[in-house]
Amino acid sequence: MQHIKEIVDYGIIGLLLVMSIVAVALFIERVFYFKKVDLKDFKSRELLENRLSGNLTAIATIASNAPYIGLLGTVLAIMQTFIDMAKSDLAATKIMESLALALKTTAAGLVVAIVATILYNILVRKVETKLAEYGA
């Protein structure tokens, strides 16, 4: 249990950072794909929709799971605070500081989720627009 702080600081925050980088990279890949896609190359609407919606599931998965990963980091950090409280006689200010810092992973998870949700919604709208252009 001694390594909980390192797990939270490096593992959870690191994972959230990687998730945010992946979400942005997938978004950029999709934007470039939408710019170069030629609707005349597709024989069916279903095939077009399948190609346009590539990587959207990954972005949605990041958006939906980032808050849970952040919450996991918060729970682990609070557990570490309780362990530290049990081992020594901590002052109330030190306890409050530890609990406040424990919330950083929840905040980070929410930031990742909000950004990924925005990116996902932008891409869904682009898919809908391209499909409407195909049907016109």
- Per-residue pLDDT at 70 exceeds 90: yes
* CA-angle at 21, arms to 18 and 23, nearest 5°: 110
The confidence score (pLDDT) of residue 111 equals: 98
Q: How far is CA 8 from the centre of its chain?
A: 16
If DSSP states are collapsed to H, E and C, what string results for the chain? CCCHHHHHHHHHHHHHHHHHHHHHHHHHHHHHHHHHCCHHHCCCHHHHHHHHCCCHHHHHHHHHHHHHHHHHHHHHHHHHHHHHHHHCCCCHHHHHHHHHHHCHHHHHHHHHHHHHHHHHHHHHHHHHHHHHHHHC
pLDDT in tens, 27-48: 999 999 999 999 999 999 999 9
Q: How far apart are CA 116 and CA 59, in angstroms?
A: 6
Identify the band that residue 123 occupies on the pLDDT scale cut at 50, 70 and 90: very high
Per-chain mean pLDDT for the chain: 92
**Distance (Å, whole) CA 110 – CA 55:** 21
Domain segments of the chain: what residues? 4-135
pTM greater than 0.85: yes
Instruction: Band the pLDDT of 1: cuts 50, 70, 90.
Output: low
Helix axes of 104-135 and 92-102: crossing angle, nearest 10 degrees: 20
